[in-house]
Amino acid sequence: MKKCLIFLSDIFYIIIFQNNLVYQRFLYNYRCLYNLEKFLLRSCCLLFPLRFQFHNLLKTLLNYYNYFQNIHLIFFQFFYSFFLAPL
């Protein structure tokens, strides 16, 4: 039973670590989009209406990022408190 739980903890650690890399890549893409928005706004005043579309897209992406990050933190705390802490 103990070996099984340790094996499961290794699997979940790998999953969380990989998701952390995904989050870092997502943040990098988010910064790129934000810089693209600033570049477009500075380059041409005619693109002003696009600013709102970019801004809403960025806000939506950031909300999804925070939502999924919170879910993984809650899941990891639950998994640790019930399965790994007693070991």
The larger pLDDT score, comparing residue 83 to residue 18, is at 83
State if pTM tops 0.75: no
pLDDT-derived band at 1 (thresholds 50, 70, 90) equals very low
Interval 42-74: pLDDT, tens: 555 444 555 555 566 666 666 666 666 666 666
| Residue 8 falls inside a structural domain | no
| Residue 54 falls inside a structural domain | yes
Supply the pLDDT for residue 2: 46
| Residue 48 falls inside a structural domain | yes
In terms of residue numbers, what domain contains 49? Answer: 14-84
| Residue 41 falls inside a structural domain | yes
| Residue 64 falls inside a structural domain | yes
Q: Residue 24 burial (CB < 10 Å; 0-12/13-18/19+)? A: exposed
How much is the mean pLDDT over the chain? 58
| Residue 22 falls inside a structural domain | yes
Give how many domains the chain has, as a whole number: 1
